[in-house]
C-alpha cells in the first residue's frame, strides 16, 4: 500500500512520516523541547487517517503544554501510589516535580477515533511501570492506566 495522498511523506505539521505496510500505520518523531517523542497514526475502521492526523496536528501545535498536562494528570492519579507501593527500597519519596519530569510522554498513538494514548513513566520503579493517559480528539484528558 502506498502513502495516501492526504498524508504526504513529509507532513507540513508532523514532519517526516513513514508508512508501515504490515501494520498499516504511519510513524514519526516529534521534537518537544529537547526531547524526541515517537508517535504513530492509526486509521479508523474504514482505513481513514483523518481523525488521527487531526489529533496529531493539534498535539504538535501545543506539544509542550500537552506533555505537561499529561504528566500532571498522571501525577494526580499515581504519585501517591508510586511513593506507597512502587518506590525502590531505601529511596526517598518522589516529589511532585520529579514525578512530572519522569512521566512526560515518551510516545503517543493517535487512533482513528481521534483518541490519543500517551505513554510515559517507564523509569518510575524497579518494575518499570509505564503510565498511560488518554485524551479525546480535542485534547481533553479522560482516562489513565498502568502497564508493566
Residues with Cβ within 8 Å of 122's Cβ and at least 6 positions away in sequence, in order, are 106, 128, 129, 130, 148
In a domain, 4, yes or no: no
Q: Mean pLDDT throughout 91-108?
A: 88
In a domain, 64, yes or no: yes
> pTM of the predicted model, to two decimals?
0.86
**34 compared with 40, residue with greater pLDDT:** 40
Q: Mean pLDDT throughout 51-57?
A: 93
What is the residue whose three cell numbers read 505539521? Answer: 13
**pLDDT value for 3:** 40
Percent of the chain with pLDDT over 70: 89
In a domain, 2, yes or no: no
Q: Picking from 42-46, 75-79, 90-94, which range would have the lowest pLDDT averaged per residue?
A: 90-94
**What's the total number of domains in the chain?**
1
Which residues constitute the domain of residue 142?
10-147
The dihedral region occupied by 135, where left means phi > 0, alpha psi between -120 and 50, and beta the remainder, is: beta
Amino acid at each position: 500500500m502506498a502513502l495516501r495522498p492526504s498524508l504526504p511523506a513529509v507532513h507540513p505539521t508532523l514532519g517526516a512520516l513513514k508508512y508501515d505496510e504490515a501494520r498499516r500505520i504511519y510513524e514519526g518523531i516529534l521534537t518537544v523541547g529537547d526531547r524526541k517523542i515517537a508517535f504513530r497514526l492509526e486509521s479508523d475502521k474504514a482505513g481513514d487517517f483523518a481523525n488521527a492526523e487531526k489529533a496529531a496536528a493539534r498535539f504538535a501545535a501545543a506539544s509542550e503544554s500537552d506533555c505537561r498536562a499529561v504528566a500532571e494528570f498522571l501525577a494526580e492519579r499515581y504519585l501517591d501510589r508510586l511513593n506507597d507501593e512502587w518506590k525502590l527500597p531505601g529511596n526517598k519519596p518522589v516529589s511532585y516535580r520529579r514525578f512530572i519530569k519522569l512521566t512526560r510522554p515518551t510516545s503517543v498513538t493517535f487512533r482513528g477515533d481521534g483518541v490519543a494514548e500517551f505513554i510515559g513513566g517507564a523509569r518510575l520503579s524497579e518494575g518499570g511501570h509505564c503510565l498511560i493517559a488518554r485524551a479525546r480528539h480535542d485534547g481533553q484528558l479522560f482516562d489513565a492506566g498502568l502497564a508493566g
